[in-house]
Structure 1
Amino acid sequence: MAQRHLDPTDPLAGPAPTGDTLAGYLRAQATEFLRALRLHRETGSGANGSEGSVEAARALRRSARRISASLHTFQPLLDTDWCEGMRPELAWVSGTLAMEHAYTSRLERLLNALHRLSGSDRAAGTHADAAAGARGGLAAGARTDAAAGTRADVAEGTRADVAAGSRAAGAARVGAAAPRDAGLRTPPSPAQERSNLTVGAAKAGALLDRQLNLARTRAHSTALQALGSSRFHAIADKVAVLASEVPLTPAAATADLRPLATAAKDRLADAVTALPLVTAGHPYNAAALIHGLSPDTVPHPQDAPWHQVRLLLRLHRYAREAVSGPKGNAVVDLRLLSAGQALNRHRDASEAAAAAAQAARTPRIAPATAYALGVLHADQRHEVEAARFAFQQAWQKEAEAVSTR
């Protein structure tokens, strides 16, 4: 039987941190928030914000997340009314600032996948060129295919593509089936399938570019309005007070932070236990493809528990940071880092698949466009499976490391 030893890299195993440690961590994060806010105002925040303003917005989100997470984990040591008032406001700031980046990354991810699936050798980052060529094809074909590309046909055809794609591995899933409404009575040749996918990918890229760029522009405007609102100014004032005065309870001076940090770790472990890790331990198990392109527009029901684990993992990581002190003396746990990266990829692929499904529900699109979007949806759901497998591997290493300490 392996002997259990204290892990010197685990902040929960060191000297007992108290409320003063938590206060120092919160003051440091509040200072980072104010510094990022000043940088954002200095670098400009217009429609074409500079790289400095983008980085400042990321820093604002990072510090807001850490403050909010600490208020959640260590709330018994802080003023209750103050915590209840600050947490939703910080979540609003973080969520509002994250939307523009999310839409930009989603579009880039989907265009990269379209170039890869259609066999294009062009760099995926040339969004302007891809969109310009695709919009021409979309305009030329949309009128002639309007009657054939009804919403029912789109849903039926893309579900067939997704189901066929889930049964094939690797590159075979790309051309496993043709749309049902394409009028082909004999199986198409690989060359025909590749041609259909290439033509459809151009139109699909134009459609996604239009929809996601519109959403990104709206998110940018919303973020600018939020940063100039009285609500945000009130939050900034409270954070400025937090940078010098932390509302600790009288008992926090001698309280140990480790039990609360351990509770955050236990909540994460319980949530991971509820996940189907045995299934996720087999790559391409097709569990993430069940129900495929559902007509329901709500987020994929299978993804919710994984998203919850991602949030709990973040709370656990931030609790480790808080226990280690304001200077961040905790050694980065590579296993937790790998697990978090896998869950981030899971979230990104899941949202990209949902965006492809939403685009496929656009009325009166051409069958070739619907076919490309169905293949794209299946590809992103396979990416969801791959991310689950990567998380399972990282988490098993974490469990083995804990059992041998």
Structure 2
Amino acid sequence: MAQQHLDPTDPAADVATGESLAAYLRAQATEFLRALRLHRETGGTHQAGGAEEPVDAARLLRRSARRISGNLHTFRPLLDPDWSEEMRPELAWLSGTLGLEHAYEARLERLLLALHRLSGATVLPAQAVDAALAAAPLPGGGPAGATAAQERSNLTVGAAKAGALLERQLTLARTRAHSTALQALGSSRFHAVADKVAVLASEVPLTLTAPTTDLRPPAAAAEERLTAAIGALPLVTAGHPYNAEALVHGLSPDLSPHPQDGPWHQVRLLLRLHRYAQEVLHAGDLPVDLRLLSAGQALDRHRDASEAAAAAAQAARTPRIAPATAYALGVLHADQRHEVEAARFAFQQAWQKQTVSAP
């Protein structure tokens, strides 16, 4: 867990100051404006240089908005307070609004793949009903084998109907999120944000002392907040691949969010702020830290699985659904809560590894 830090007493150290912060913010503002121009020219999707994979302009907007907002928070003592406090929530609003469509799309894909895996189906949910009925056991089979086959058949049929229900609900949510994003990008609120970012691309409102202020103390404070939040997590429990206590709570029919998820989501946010602060210190050329990378990926999996579990639970509360559908959704919910625990275990394994410093 040891990490290298610049020695503030070393006169030869290349100390990052408020000037470095200003250069970073200008660069991110320029990236924001470039993504905005790309979105307006292509409607949000662009084939970059003949590449096969499209570049998502909305994703690029979110990327720069998150970095600007995050470092306005971390380095707020160096910035004009009124401007910073007005800018941060607007960027957070924009990033959150633009991210919803992709989140619903990814959630649906995750849940459908899980249903296919759990039911043993290799076909699309809509096709699985006929396949399951065709595979149902004939009368007169052995009782044990017939029971097992019938349970598998019921799960397959229920999974098909559950998949269709999730597809309807999440596709509708995605469509609404898409419309909301389009409305947001055409709103006066967004144009006000874009105007402020355009000014930021050339002029950063630093305080009078900021240009010569060392950035390492606020960056270290961000790292300390992350370390403290991780220290409050039940890492000993997360060190076990199977956390029965968490699963008992996770499988509860309670409508409120899982009580253990919140602190993990907070750690994910703090890890992101720490990484953004390090980008500023390294002038955007941040060396790859495999430990932080693995930890961040585990926390992303944790967030995705917990939100997918919530979506399955919400679908199971749909009125008048068939028992087989409710059963499949319950199995799916339990599966995603297991994925939550697996992600916590992966984070614990990644975070406990010692960082090997280069000689």
> Same fold, TM exceeding 0.5?
yes
1:389 lines up with 2:345 in the alignment = yes
Whether the 8 Å CA contact 1:17–1:256 is kept in 2: the answer is yes
Alpha-carbon distance between aligned partners in 1 of 2:214 and 2:42, rounded to the nearest angstrom: 41
Tell me the CA shift for residue 353 of structure 1: 0.2
Tell me the CA shift for residue 401 of structure 1: 2.6
Tell me the CA shift for residue 254 of structure 1: 1.2
Q: 1:265 aligns with which of 208, 212, 223?
A: 223
Alpha-carbon distance between aligned partners in 2 of 1:234 and 1:302, rounded to the nearest angstrom: 38
- CA change 1:14–1:224 in 2 (3 A) is farther
- Aligned pairs for 1:145-156 within 5 A: none
- Equivalent position of 1:130 in the other structure: 125
Alpha-carbon distance between aligned partners in 2 of 1:285 and 1:315, rounded to the nearest angstrom: 28
- CA change 1:6–1:106 in 2 (3 A) is closer
TM-score between both structures, scaled by the size of structure 1: 0.78
- CA change 1:319–1:191 in 2 (3 A) is same
Whether the 8 Å CA contact 2:309–2:337 is kept in 1: the answer is yes
- CA change 1:351–1:187 in 2 (3 A) is farther
Alpha-carbon distance between aligned partners in 2 of 1:344 and 1:321, rounded to the nearest angstrom: 20
- Equivalent position of 2:117 in the other structure: 116
Tell me the CA shift for residue 300 of structure 1: 1.4
Helix, strand or coil at the partner of 2:189: helix
- CA change 1:121–1:187 in 2 (3 A) is closer
- Equivalent position of 1:256 in the other structure: 214
Alpha-carbon distance between aligned partners in 2 of 1:391 and 1:14, rounded to the nearest angstrom: 33
Alpha-carbon distance between aligned partners in 2 of 1:134 and 1:6, rounded to the nearest angstrom: 55
Whether the 8 Å CA contact 1:288–1:382 is kept in 2: the answer is no
Helix, strand or coil at the partner of 2:122: coil
- Aligned pairs for 1:5-404 within 5 A: 6=4, 15-45=14-44, 55-122=56-123, 129-131=124-126, 133=127, 189-325=147-283, 328-397=284-353, 400-401=354-355
Alpha-carbon distance between aligned partners in 2 of 1:368 and 1:6, rounded to the nearest angstrom: 56
Tell me the CA shift for residue 285 of structure 1: 2.0
- CA change 1:119–1:234 in 2 (3 A) is same
**Aligned pairs, number:** 336
Alpha-carbon distance between aligned partners in 1 of 2:332 and 2:104, rounded to the nearest angstrom: 17
1:298 counterpart letter in structure 2: S
- CA change 1:401–1:94 in 2 (3 A) is same
Alpha-carbon distance between aligned partners in 2 of 1:212 and 1:107, rounded to the nearest angstrom: 6
- CA change 1:403–1:274 in 2 (3 A) is farther
Alpha-carbon distance between aligned partners in 2 of 1:54 and 1:219, rounded to the nearest angstrom: 19
Alpha-carbon distance between aligned partners in 2 of 1:99 and 1:214, rounded to the nearest angstrom: 12
Sequence identity percentage: 76
In the TM superposition, what whole-angstrom CA distance separates every residue of 1:223-263 from its partner, at most 9, and x where no partner exists? 00000000000000000000000000011111100010000
Unaligned runs of 5+ in 1: 123-128, 138-185
Tell me the CA shift for residue 51 of structure 1: 7.0
Whether the 8 Å CA contact 1:26–1:243 is kept in 2: the answer is yes
- CA change 1:265–1:204 in 2 (3 A) is same
In the TM superposition, what whole-angstrom CA distance separates every residue of 1:305-347 from its partner, at most 9, and x where no partner exists? 000000000000000001111xx22202111010000000000
- CA change 1:314–1:188 in 2 (3 A) is farther
Tell me the CA shift for residue 215 of structure 1: 0.2
2:43 counterpart letter in structure 1: G
In the TM superposition, what whole-angstrom CA distance separates every residue of 1:62-119 from its partner, at most 9, and x where no partner exists? 0000000000000000000000000000000000000000000000000000001111
Tell me the CA shift for residue 28 of structure 1: 0.3
- CA change 1:136–1:320 in 2 (3 A) is same
1:240 counterpart letter in structure 2: A
Select the structure with the greater relative contact order (CA < 8 A; seq sep ≥ 6).
Answer: 1
- Equivalent position of 1:173 in the other structure: none
In the TM superposition, what whole-angstrom CA distance separates every residue of 1:112-167 from its partner, at most 9, and x where no partner exists? 00001111223xxxxxx534x47999xxxxxxxxxxxxxxxxxxxxxxxxxxxxxx
Unaligned runs of 5+ in 2: 7-11, 49-53, 132-143
Alpha-carbon distance between aligned partners in 1 of 2:152 and 2:3, rounded to the nearest angstrom: 57
Tell me the CA shift for residue 273 of structure 1: 0.3
In the TM superposition, what whole-angstrom CA distance separates every residue of 1:162-201 from its partner, at most 9, and x where no partner exists? xxxxxxxxxxxxxxxxxxxxxxxx9983212211110100
Whether the 8 Å CA contact 1:286–1:385 is kept in 2: the answer is no
- CA change 1:77–1:364 in 2 (3 A) is same
Alpha-carbon distance between aligned partners in 2 of 1:249 and 1:227, rounded to the nearest angstrom: 31
Tell me the CA shift for residue 287 of structure 1: 3.4
Provide the aligned C-alpha RMSD in A: 2.4
